[in-house]
Amino acid sequence: MIPESLLNEIADALVEPGYWISDQAMPTDIGRGLLRAFETLQADEFKTAGIGRQTDFQLEEKIRADKIHWISANSPETTQFLQWMDALKTGLNRRLFMGLFDYESHFAHYPVGAFYKKHLDAFRAKGGQPSSNRVLSTVYYLNESWLPDNGGELLIYNEADSEVIEKVSPVFGRLVIFLSEKFPHEVLPANRERKSIAGWFRVNEGRLS
């Protein structure tokens, strides 16, 4: 389902520099289907997103202002997407022995002006209990005719968190994959509503301890 040459390219990029960005990775049909599925959802099917185990919603709203809907294989469109991610998981496990175990993902709707402040998707376990088992992050964008003026870029910082190394415009069909523990990142506000799918490959809990 994913060409071997593409899997090789992604695996190489994850070894160094640790992230990969492409506009041609996923078949356009899958992207169109996902946009259809996204647009079928009613406003009340999107919930205020949380951050980790944080339960203070006022604090959360200062950090992220997107609304999310968790994806499941309940439609042909989302099933196709999840199958593609499953093929990616298998391909990367064969090449990098990452031990990727499952994949969770959600549609994210950023209303005009919404942002997501700088964060890491996972924290490296420092002895004791691991704080997260997310190891590989994906972001896929669904915004047709997105212009540079619309803003809403994903900023990716270096591991030392000292400089921005990528400024990614959320254009339709663009896929970003990065090591969850390595790269702080943030979403800048946009002057248009912004649609994305964030997802994470996780390792089995037991493997971390």
Residues that bind ligand OGA (CB under 6 A): 108, 116, 121, 139, 154, 170, 185, 187, 196, 198
Measured from the CB atom, is 25 or 198 closer to ligand OGA? 198
Q: Which residue is nearest to Mn ion (CB)?
A: 121
Q: C-beta of 71: minimal distance to ligand OGA in Å?
A: 13
Question: Which residues on adjacent β-strands are paired with residue 64?
Answer: 116
Task: Find how far residue 32's CA is from the centre of its chain.
Answer: 18
Q: C-beta of 42: minimal distance to ligand OGA in Å?
A: 21
Backbone angles phi, psi at 34, to 5 degrees: -65, -40
Q: C-beta of 125: minimal distance to ligand OGA in Å?
A: 19
Of the candidates 112, 119, 36, the one whose C-alpha atom is nearest the C-alpha of residue 67 is 112
User: At 4, which helix (H) or strand (E)?
Assistant: helix 4-15
Measured from the CB atom, is 1 or 147 closer to ligand OGA? 147
- Residue 154 contact partner, candidates Mn ion, ligand OGA, none, CB within 5 to 8 A by sort of partner: ligand OGA
Measured from the CB atom, is 77 or 121 closer to Mn ion? 121
Give the range of 9-17, 71-79, 120-128, 173-181 binding Mn ion by CB under 5 A: 120-128
- Residue 77 contact partner, candidates ligand OGA, Mn ion, none, CB within 5 to 8 A by sort of partner: none
The DSSP call for residue 121 is: S
Measured from the CB atom, is 80 or 196 closer to ligand OGA? 196
- 121 binds Mn ion per the rule CB under 5 A: yes
Give the range of 42-50, 69-77, 115-123, 153-161 binding Mn ion by CB under 5 A: 115-123
Alpha-carbon distance of 139 to 196, in angstroms, equals 7
Q: Which residues contact 194 (CB under 8 A, 6 or more apart)?
A: 109, 110, 114, 143, 150, 152, 170, 187
Q: Which residues contact 72 (CB under 8 A, 6 or more apart)?
A: 78
Q: C-beta of 168: minimal distance to ligand OGA in Å?
A: 7
In this structure, are residues 52 and 130 in contact, taking their beta carbons and an 8 Å threshold? no
Measured from the CB atom, is 84 or 200 closer to ligand OGA? 200
Token pair listed for 83? 């199958």
Alpha-carbon distance of 195 to 61, in angstroms, equals 18
Measured from the CB atom, is 71 or 108 closer to ligand OGA? 108
Token pair listed for 68? 């999310």
Residues that bind Mn ion (CB under 5 A): 121
